[in-house]
Amino acid sequence: MVRFDSPNRTRGFTLIEMMASIGVISLLCALLLPAVQSAREASRRAFCRNNLRQILVATHSYHGVHQRFPAACGTTLVPGGVFIEKQYSALSQILPFADEATVYNSINFNIPIHDFYLIPGSKGLKLGNMTAISASIGMFICPSDPAPMGADHSGGTNYRVNLGTRRAPTFDNLSTNGALDSYACSSMAECTDGLSSTAAFAEKLRGEAGRLTPNYRTDLFPGGLGSGYSIDEEVEACAKLVQPPYFSPDSGLTWLVGAMSQSCYSHVLPPNGTIVDCVLWTNSVSGFVGARSDHPGGLHVGMADGSVHFVKTSVDLRVWRALGTRAAGEIFDFED
């Protein structure tokens, strides 16, 4: 028989000891949590970087076959005087070079198409490509983007084509264009600033279909002063859109459509800038959409030479705009 005063009896925790233990465990968790989150973000950044690298490899393979980059916004046809847009994105055109031939073969490129989310009355234009629209492409999604994968779209894309520092479609070969043109197929030779100094793709946060409140980092807002104004004048006008009456949360919901609203961006606004994205509601190729990500401190940019760099949010706006143009004669060092 064991006596109650036996030295071998089990001793329990006092309340003070239990509270002290909980405090130590809580302190350890508080110290470890940032490290765990940092490790997870480092993994997500590596995954995102690899996605962009795959897109660049596929784009270079496309160029190797066709001796041209794909058009960022497809083609514009005027048969019989009727204006028809076939705004198939550059992302849709590089699919066969990214082991996505099945999805590519499901696309009917003969059907006219433009942004069926943004432009009223155009929803019917997507009906012939519902198989492609519903296909989610893993390399087009950044794991750091919290936007949900909606039931009425493919999940969209976080990687967009750079259209330079213009606010209108790039029909012509201009020095301010990006590596890829909107309605034409440019070549590497046209990047006279150097392939390593010209952005081809960068990150952009996706919107959320059906959201009723605006998100100033992801959504599109109607704005535009016209061609008679400078870039900075138009940026200033859009900076005043503090509480705009209209907005579209449907930005970046499909990789299929080549437009500022879905798969293109420009180097007008700084990366992760605070000014909203402004587009013309009647022409989703005109306007400016800034590069943005949820990576702390910056975002990934894929250059025309196939390299991927992490550009800090604090980058000088002049350098950022120089990165966006292919033949404007700017000289800069990436290390700076």
User: What is residue 166's predicted lDDT score, i.e. its pLDDT?
Assistant: 76
Q: Note whether 234 and 262 are within 8 A (CB).
A: no
Q: Tell me the pLDDT band of 32, cut-offs 50, 70 and 90.
A: low
How does pLDDT run across 219-254, given as a tens digit for each residue?
988 876 666 678 888 888 888 766 666 788 888 999
Q: How far apart are CA 229 and CA 74, in angstroms?
A: 27
Residue 42 clears pLDDT 60, i.e. is over it:
yes
Flag the least confident range among 5-19, 192-206, 225-239, 287-301: 5-19
How does pLDDT run across 66-75, given as a tens digit for each residue?
999 999 988 8
Q: How far apart are CA 2 and CA 321, in angstroms?
A: 83
Q: Note whether 139 and 98 are within 8 A (CB).
A: yes
Q: Tell me the pLDDT band of 273, cut-offs 50, 70 and 90.
A: very high
Q: What type of residue is 99?
A: D
Q: Note whether 185 and 71 are within 8 A (CB).
A: yes
Alpha carbon separation from 266 to 80, 231, 234, 255, 280 (Å, rounded): 33, 12, 14, 17, 14
Average pLDDT over residues 267-277: 92
Pairing of strands 264-265, 159-162: parallel
Strand partners, 299: 311
Q: Whole-number mean pLDDT of the chain?
A: 83
Q: Note whether 181 and 70 are within 8 A (CB).
A: no
User: What is residue 246's predicted lDDT score, i.e. its pLDDT?
Assistant: 79
Q: Tell me the pLDDT band of 330, cut-offs 50, 70 and 90.
A: confident
pTM score: 0.85
User: What is residue 261's predicted lDDT score, i.e. its pLDDT?
Assistant: 87
How does pLDDT run across 121-159, given as a tens digit for each residue?
555 555 678 888 888 899 999 999 988 776 556 678 999
- Percentage of the chain beyond pLDDT 70 is 76
Strand partners, 257: 88
SS3 call for 308 = strand
How does pLDDT run across 170-184, given as a tens digit for each residue?
667 788 889 999 888
Q: Note whether 60 and 53 are within 8 A (CB).
A: no
